[in-house]
Amino acid sequence: MNIDVTINGESRTIETEGHRRLLDVLREELGLVGTKEGCGEGECGACTVLLNGEPVNSCLVPVGQLQGASLTTIEGMAGSESLHIIQDTLIRYGGAQCGICTPGVALCAKWALEKEPDASKERLRELLAGNICRCTGYQAIVDAIVAAQESAPETSLKDAKEPGDE
């Protein structure tokens, strides 16, 4: 089947079978290998992408469900000149180590801060609870997200247009 979808702002038509996992189509057909496979069972959140703005495990979505949808992967998170502020704080606060969970964490954090810009640290932990990290112990990740939250006016969370915005 032909699937018309907007990926990272660009209109694409994908020709594939609809039952295939979105994760596999991203990695194997589209070369978007920033999305990682962790458990492949919806437990770890490593393969998180934003589908119509909401975080989903791409290992659990049959790609046929993307007809007409809008998708953001980690490749579409940064601006052309600068990283998204959450990517920037994840680096600065040591919120990334081996890197497998990082794309999913970054995208889920972007969604969480857009959904609830004033979320408490406790609430952010709840919203990010579907992203499992085996390296950092989470503290550095949460610190990075809180730093992004504190340093960013609401608009910059959406498009990270202000590189020096801290």
Partner residues linked to 56 by β-bridges = 49
Q: Compute the radius of gyration of the chain from its Cα atoms.
A: 15
3-state secondary structure of 59: coil
- Give me the least distance between CB of 62 and other proteins, in Å please: 6
- Residue number, 68 or 163, with CB nearest to other proteins: 68
- DSSP-H helix ranges across the chain: 22-24, 85-92, 102-115, 121-127, 139-151, 154-159
- Residue number, 82 or 141, with CB nearest to other proteins: 141
Return the amino acid letter for 113: L
Please report, as ranges, the residues that interact with other proteins according to CB under 8 A: 1, 17-19, 21, 40-43, 45, 48, 51, 54-57, 59-62, 64-65, 67, 108, 111-112, 126-132
- Residue number, 24 or 165, with CB nearest to other proteins: 24
- Give me the least distance between CB of 57 and other proteins, in Å please: 5
